[in-house]
Structures are given as C-alpha cells and as structure tokens.
C-alpha cells in the first residue's frame, strides 16, 4: 500500500495549526470577555474589596484602571497608591455630604492634631451651607476673630484659589498652616454686594472655654465658647459662681459656639432637665435610634433661663438649645442657628488613613431635625450693624425678657 506522506504531513500540520489557532482564539476571547478585575495585574487584594453580596458592577472601574495602566503617558511613572487614595476620595465625595471625607496619610495627621487641640491656624470653624464654604464661627480671641472674620461670611477664595472647587477638608488644610504665616480670604458678608479680602496671620490656637458676668437684677451671664472635654467641669464652676453671687436668673450665651463633644452637651443640659429626659436622639440608617438622656442634675430646673444663639451656633450648641426649647425650660433669643446636626464616625482604612463618615442625624427630643432646619429662636433679634458693634441688641432683648420671667 502506498501512502502520500507529504499530503498526510500537510493535513497533520494543518490540524496542528487549527488546534494552535483554537488555543490562541480561546485565549484571546477568554481575555476579552473575562472580568475586568482579572485583567489588572498591578494591584492585589482586588477581590477582598468587593463584598460578595454587592450587586454593583465594578467592571467599569477596573476597565478604567487598566486603561490608565496601559495607555497613560507619564515620564515619572504611575503613582498607584495615589490613584487608590483618589478613588476612595471620589467615592466619599459622591455622597454629596461635606462631612463624609477620606483622609490620606498627611490629612489624617492634620485632622488628629486638630482633635487633640494642639494645632496652629486661624481659629475658626467652617462648613458647607447651600454648597458654599461658610464660616460657622470664629473662636473668640483667635487670629480670625481679631482679623474681623464674622459668622456667616461666605469664603469665595483662599489665597486666590476658588473655594467652590475644594472639599470642606481641602479648604481646612489650605487655611491652616504654621504660626506666623498668613492666609488671604476673600469673603462675601451677609447683606453686602461687594467682597472683601481679609488677611489672617496664623498662630497657635488656644480654644477658649467660657466667660462669666454678673449683672444687676439677679442676672448672671455665662458665655460658653466651645463644648470641649473640659467644658462640663468649667461650666459646673460657673454655676457655682452664679449661686455664690446670689443671682437667680441665667443668660446662656451660645452665639458663635461651633459645638464640640456630644457628651459635653448632654452633661450641660442635665443641669436643667429631670433625670431620664431625652436630650437628643441619634437617628441611624436602619431607623434605629440612640437616645441620650439627662443625667438629672436638675438643680436649675426652675431657674429663668434665656439662651442666645445665632448663625454661628452649631452642633452641640444646637443640641442644648433645642432640648431646653422643646421642654419649655428656656427662651431662645437671636437668629437661626447653623444647622449642623449630624454624627460622624472615624473609621480606620489602613494604619495611615481613615474615613470620616456621617452615620446618623441628630433630632431634638420632639423629633425636630437639626440638620434640616437648625433651631429657630422664640424671639428673633438681628445683631447690631457692623459699624456700631458697641451695641448688642440681642443681649439687651435677652435681659428684657428674663426680667419678666
């Protein structure tokens, strides 16, 4: 039997070629249609970042990551860690909540130093109001206070950088800085058409606590500037001073007090409320609530009280004013408060980074949302005009009201 070996070899070769092509095409189509996450080889722990129960398709993210890896032209190479931090920052920013923010290593250190109180800067609290960077309050005696920054000032530029393009924490980092250096703020003040530039020289910030003043007719004034860890004990001393002075009427001035610790707000409210009464409620995503109740010191429950507030009164100030207003324990005088009624939790992401995320909203005992409406005063009184700050019509109204209580 004769065999045509050349033909057979050709056929076998063709078969080998077909088999090889099938492997090639299989590999090509397998790569093309595999998950985008599998195509990214430059990062690890990709799967652990995606919860099994999540139904969101992450392939666009990984496709974008891979496109950058493969196509972006860069003389210095890619900074993949910076890409990751930027991705998380964008994730937090997408929530449209100015108080939810990711802290990369440098920003985390700045934030923690501020919490500790050992920081240098200008000494003012800022927030976002109607999408505009706004001064909540300058702290008394600080560089911002001395330079003439006012509660409610809208910050348009920081050292010629447009503020609207910055997140809240980016703005904070621009304003803060070393003692002796200066920052320029372009602000628009309520009721004015023209902007003004305010230059503030940074200094070490010593957060003030309170001042007291005895007036005639048994009136005692406590000006509380912040709700720090020390505020409850200092406030207790001020109340003792009030008793020893023979005063029996209290004006609690919370104007330009940007808040602080929740525990301090509950403790201070407890001097005026019976035990067990709700001071504030934390409303969470799953509709569960944590109710923070009065410790029941209640020594001054029958004392005539007027609380002064303005647009610089925020957070813990709103908790105290809202609770005493709900129970009829105090009259609120001034202008509407800032409306910062949310709770943040600091979650470690890595040892060097963290995520500050809003986890709950504050409600007054009668279920009023502080975030949505702030605290409306019982008696609305505008402050004095800027050119005549020797007058204080809000305080004068508070004195008038408390004389009749």
Taking phi over 0 as left and psi of -120 to 50 as alpha, with beta for the rest, 192 belongs to beta
Exposure string over 272-304, b if 16+ CB within 10 A, otherwise e: bbeeebbbbbbbeeeeeeeebbbbebbebeebb
CA distance 310 to 37: 52
Residue 249: helix, strand or coil by DSSP? Answer: strand
Q: Which helix (H) or strand (E) holds 224?
A: strand 219-224
- Dihedral pair phi/psi, residue 130, rounded to 5°: 55, 45
Give bridge partners of residue 220 from the DSSP assignment: 214, 250
For residue 52, give every residue at least 6 positions away whose Cβ sits within 8 Å of its Cβ, in sequence order, or none.
none
The string of DSSP letters for 141-195 reads: TSHHHHHT--TT-EEEEETTEEGGGS-HHHHHHHH---TT-EEEEEEE-TT-SS-
**Helix, strand, coil fractions of the chain, as percent rounded to 5:** 35, 25, 40
Give bridge partners of residue 5 from the DSSP assignment: none
Q: Which residues are catalytic?
A: 315, 326, 340
How many degrees, rounded to 5, is the angle at CA 270 between CA 269 and CA 276? Answer: 120
Residue 379's Cβ-count burial label (10 Å; 0-12, 13-18, 19+) is middle
Query: How many alpha carbons fall within 13 Å on the CB side of residue 332?
Result: 25
Residue 401's Cβ-count burial label (10 Å; 0-12, 13-18, 19+) is middle
Q: What tokens appear for 293 in the block?
A: 């109740």
Say what angle helices 105-116 and 168-175 make with each other, to 10 degrees.
70
């Amino acid at each position: 039997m004769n065999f045509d070996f050349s033909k057979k070899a050709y056929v076998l070769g063709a078969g080998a070629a077909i088999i090889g092509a099938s492997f090639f095409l299989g590999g090509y189509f397998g790569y093309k249609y595999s998950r985008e996450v599998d195509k990214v080889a430059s990062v690890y722990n990709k799967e652990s970042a995606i919860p099994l129960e999540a139904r969101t398709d992450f392939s666009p993210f990984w496709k974008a990551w891979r496109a950058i890896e493969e196509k972006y032209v860069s003389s210095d190479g890619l900074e993949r860690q910076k890409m990751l931090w930027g991705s998380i920052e964008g994730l937090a920013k997408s929530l449209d909540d100015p108080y939810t923010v990711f802290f990369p290593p440098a920003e985390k250190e700045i934030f923690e130093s501020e919490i500790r109180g050992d920081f240098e800067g200008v000494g003012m609290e800022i927030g976002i109001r109607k999408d505009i960077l706004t001064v909540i309050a300058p702290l008394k005696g600080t560089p911002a206070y001395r330079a003439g920054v006012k509660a409610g000032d809208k910050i348009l530029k920081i050292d010629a950088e447009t503020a609207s393009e910055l997140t809240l924490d980016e703005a904070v980092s621009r304003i803060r800085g070393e003692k002796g250096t200066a920052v320029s703020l372009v602000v628009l003040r309520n009721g004015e058409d023209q902007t003004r530039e305010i230059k503030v020289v940074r200094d070490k910030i010593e957060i003030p606590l309170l001042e007291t003043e005895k007036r005639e007719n048994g009136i005692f004034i406590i000006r509380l500037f912040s709700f720090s860890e020390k505020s409850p004990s200092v406030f207790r001393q001020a109340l003792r001073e009030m008793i020893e002075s023979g005063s029996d009427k209290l004006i609690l001035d919370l104007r330009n007090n940007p808040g602080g610790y929740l525990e301090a707000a509950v403790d201070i409210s407890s001097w005026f409320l019976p035990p067990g009464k709700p001071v504030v409620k934390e409303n969470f995503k799953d509709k569960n609530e944590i109710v923070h109740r009065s410790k029941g010191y209640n020594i001054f429950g029958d004392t005539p009280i007027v609380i002064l507030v303005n647009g610089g009164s925020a957070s813990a100030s709103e908790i105290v004013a809202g609770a005493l207003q709900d129970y009829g324990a105090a009259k609120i005088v001034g202008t509407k408060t800032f409306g910062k009624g949310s709770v943040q939790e600091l979650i470690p992401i890595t040892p060097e980074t963290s995520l500050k995320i809003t986890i709950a909203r504050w409600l007054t005992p009668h279920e009023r949302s502080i975030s949505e409406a702030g605290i409306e005063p019982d008696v609305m009184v505008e402050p004095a005009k800027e050119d005549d700050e020797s007058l204080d019509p809000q305080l004068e109204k508070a004195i008038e009201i408390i004389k009749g209580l």
